[in-house]
Amino acid sequence: MATQDKTKTLAPGITQTQINPYAMMLQQLDMVRELTDIPAGIWEILRRPEKSLEVSIPVTKDDGSVEVFTGYRVQYSSARGPCKGGIRFHPGVTLDEVKALAGWMTWKCAVVNIPYGGGKGGVICDPTRLTHGELERLTRRFTAAIFSLIGTRRDIPAPDVNTNSEIMNWIVDTAGLLSGEAVPGIVTGKSLEMGGALGRREATGRGIMFVTLSVLQRLGLDVTKTRIAVQGFGNVGSIAAQLLSKQGAKIVGLSDVSGAYHCPRGFDIDDVLRYVAGSPGHLLAGYNGHGVEEIKSPELLTLDVDVLVPAALEAQITAGNASGIRAKVIVEGANGPTTPEADLILGERDVMIVPDILSNAGGVVCSYFEWVQNIQCYPWEEDETNQRLGQIMQRSLNEVWSLAEKREISLRTAAFVLGVERVATAARLRGIFP
């Protein structure tokens, strides 16, 4: 199945050409089939989500009018444990996108070998056009609509694009009122006072740092001489940039939805973070630090760097721009940022890609830690969380790297083979009911 371009209207006057992410995920999946001995029947199970729920979400606006939004929750696989995956609020959300993200989460949890399946959720909305009260009512109504699916032992949401700890707090409160009991483990990414885990906010970016440093070491590259560009200066990209900068790397390219910037001498990331904290919409727009020049957003991906970290949305690196990428290593911070066609082009050019289902797994690993702490009613110290995260990320990279070398395949193919085979084994052992 080939990926297909299509144009989607996000809001009046705003359109976006995008690649079908579900077709992309299935294409990635099918590309590794011949490398496994998974029976045909089990393979067909792996290619379909277990449950896909679409809900209507009526919300009373501040002016008294009613607007109806559409939301989704997909449970892709529960073969290895309860489903796990974030909720995003974005005008570009589609059912196919949510299905793809739930699938990627399934393989991701298996690659890092934590006892979760994969899920995902989303609401088609533009949070910047909603007041604080409208956003809360939207969240609570969405929670009520998907309440039959989620649960501490069934499906545990988390933050994703345009959602945060406050939104997770509202979900916990709503679920608790509906169930009549305290359910802190029903979501992760909560505020610390609500049962959140120390280190959770930084976990995805920290995982990217661990993986990047390990890959650089394996390739014999000095981190202090490494130039890095980061696409997407949100939670994941900003923390990855900050932590890598503290390790001595030179961050020379940054971008977000408002624009892209190049600084050959290396950004002062702490200064950028201070600027973004006080800028409208917490965006990079207008940043003019010493030696910084604004560039066109597409140019960020083709800067002359050693490492590229795409940490924005899916399908950013395509057949149309892959040949222009000059990075030696791509560490995927976003979910599905590279299309299968681009993968082939980059592979022919010997560009190493550390796949999303490995490199950005730090967030779900730390979500697992939060869930364990909630169930046990026993919080950990942050140092313990970070140490355990580093151990799991290093172990997972070792397993994927070893398989790639043994089978003479790419890191992405190795990660998919490892993850898919683990899920397939669980599905086979469970059998088919009735």
DSSP 312: S
Q: Which pLDDT belongs to residue 18? A: 60
Q: Which pLDDT belongs to residue 15? A: 32
Question: How far is Cα 227 from Cα 175, in angstroms, rounded to an integer?
Answer: 45
pLDDT at 327 over 60: yes
More confident residue, 359 or 11: 359
Largest Cα separation within the chain, whole Å, is 67
The answer to whether the CB of 355 falls within 8 A of the CB of 412 is yes
DSSP 159: B
pLDDT at 412 over 90: yes
The question of whether 84 is a catalytic residue gets the answer no
As a whole number, mean pLDDT of residues 69-90 equals 97
The answer to whether the CB of 164 falls within 8 A of the CB of 139 is no
CA 177-179-181 angle, 5° bins: 80
For residue 398, the Cα-to-chain-centroid distance in whole angstroms is 21
pLDDT at 16 over 80: no
Residue 161 binned pLDDT confidence (cut-offs 50, 70, 90): confident
Residue 53 binned pLDDT confidence (cut-offs 50, 70, 90): very high
Among candidate residues 116, 165, 110, 130, the one with its CA nearest the CA of residue 57: 130
Q: If residue 117 lies in a helix (H) or strand (E), which one and from where to where?
A: strand 117-124
Q: 325's torsion region: left (phi>0), alpha (psi -120 to 50) or beta?
A: beta
pTM: 0.89
Q: Which pLDDT belongs to residue 8? A: 45
For residue 38, the Cα-to-chain-centroid distance in whole angstroms is 27
Q: Which pLDDT belongs to residue 314? A: 82
Helix axes 382-407, 203-218, angle to 10 degrees: 40
200-226 confidence digits (pLDDT tens): 989 999 999 999 999 999 999 999 999
Question: How far is Cα 104 from Cα 401, in angstroms, rounded to an integer?
Answer: 19
The answer to whether the CB of 150 falls within 8 A of the CB of 158 is no
Q: Which pLDDT belongs to residue 315? A: 86
Structure tokens, 286: 């207008």
For residue 433, the Cα-to-chain-centroid distance in whole angstroms is 32
As a whole number, mean pLDDT of residues 286-297 equals 93
Q: How far is CA 171 from CA 40, 87, 162, in A?
A: 39, 11, 15
The answer to whether the CB of 2 falls within 8 A of the CB of 8 is no
- CA torsion sign for 129, 364, 76, 406 is positive
Summary mean pLDDT of the chain: 93
As a whole number, mean pLDDT of residues 365-373 equals 97
As a whole number, mean pLDDT of residues 182-191 equals 96
Q: How far is CA 3 from CA 341, 354, 412, in A?
A: 9, 21, 18
Q: Which pLDDT belongs to residue 420? A: 97
Task: Please report how many Cα atoms fall inside a 13 Å half-sphere around the Cα of residue 286, on the Cβ side.
Answer: 9
How many CB atoms neighbour CB 7 within 10 A? 8
Q: Which pLDDT belongs to residue 74? A: 98
Question: How far is Cα 11 from Cα 159, in angstroms, rounded to an integer?
Answer: 23
Helices and strands in the chain: count of H runs, count of E runs:
14, 15
Beta strand 66-77 with 117-124 is antiparallel
Residues 6+ positions from 121 with CB-CB distance below 8 Å: 71, 72, 73, 74, 85, 86, 87, 88, 98, 146, 157, 160
Residue 313 binned pLDDT confidence (cut-offs 50, 70, 90): confident
Q: Go through the domains of the chain in sequence order and give each one's CATH number.
A: 49-182 (3.40.50.10860), 203-359 (3.40.50.720)
Round the CA-based radius of gyration of the chain to a whole number and report it. Answer: 21
pLDDT at 14 over 90: no
Helix, coil or strand: residue 219 = coil
Question: How far is Cα 269 from Cα 331, in angstroms, rounded to an integer?
Answer: 19
Q: If residue 255 lies in a helix (H) or strand (E), which one and from where to where?
A: strand 250-256
Question: How far is Cα 432 from Cα 364, in angstroms, rounded to an integer?
Answer: 28
Helix, coil or strand: residue 32 = coil
Q: If residue 29 lies in a helix (H) or strand (E), which one and from where to where?
A: helix 21-31
* Catalytic residue, candidates 120, 190, 250, 328: 120
